[in-house]
Amino acid sequence: MSVSERIAIERGEKLGENVGYKVRLEGMKGKNTRLLFCTSGILLRRLLVDRDLEGVTHVIIDEVHERGIDEDFLLIVMKELLPRRPELRLVLMSATIDAEIFSSYFDGAPMIQIPGSGALQTKGRANLLQLLRKHFDLLTTVNTINRHKTLGIQIA
């Protein structure tokens, strides 16, 4: 089960309605999609035609420590974009990150540590969903960051 599928199920929705995904050769999204999971490459391609990411309120980059050319370039582009879009929220997440490096790169951005298990192990989807709801409430985290109007670096 993909993350986008899991989030859609938890919200009681069909994938492709409010929650969607886009990867290189496939995707499922619609005109009402508000939460889109995509690769770094897909986001970079969007930035080619929409350099200010109009209509986007948050960009969450998970596993930011897994760096590659696309990911490094995306961080450079985001650093240049944030002064033009001060209302845009950037959240960098990683369980193994050296947060100081990223905080420094983004001009002293605040860091938020959320305690929890970095490795969940269960024997069924029901147990996994129950644990994920308990430990990783992404929506609450994003809302907290937005309420405080900060540019956050989140450490899982």
Domain boundaries, given as residue ranges, for the chain: 39-155
Residue 44's pLDDT is: 95
142 SS3 class: helix
Residue 82: what pLDDT?
96
Q: What are the DSSP E strand ranges found in 5-151?
A: 19-22, 27-28, 35-38, 58-61, 89-94, 111-113
Give pLDDT, residue 156: 45
Backbone angles phi, psi at 138, to 5 degrees: -60, -40
Cα 4 from Cα 46, distance rounded (Å): 19
Which residues of the chain register pLDDT less than 50? 120-123, 149-150, 154-156
Q: At what angle do helices 125-135 and 3-10 cross, to 10 degrees?
A: 80
Reported as type and span, the H/E element at residue 140 is: helix 138-147
39-155 topology per CATH: Rossmann fold (3.40.50)
pLDDT in tens, 66-104: 888 999 999 999 999 999 999 999 999 988 778 889 889
* Under 8 Å between Cβ of 99 and 153: yes
Cβ atoms of residues 146 and 89 within 8 Å: yes
Q: What is the pLDDT of residue 121?
A: 46
pTM beyond 0.75, yes or no: no
Amino acid at 142: V
Q: Count the neighbouring beta carbons within 10 Å of the beta carbon of residue 75.
A: 19
pLDDT of residue 142: 57
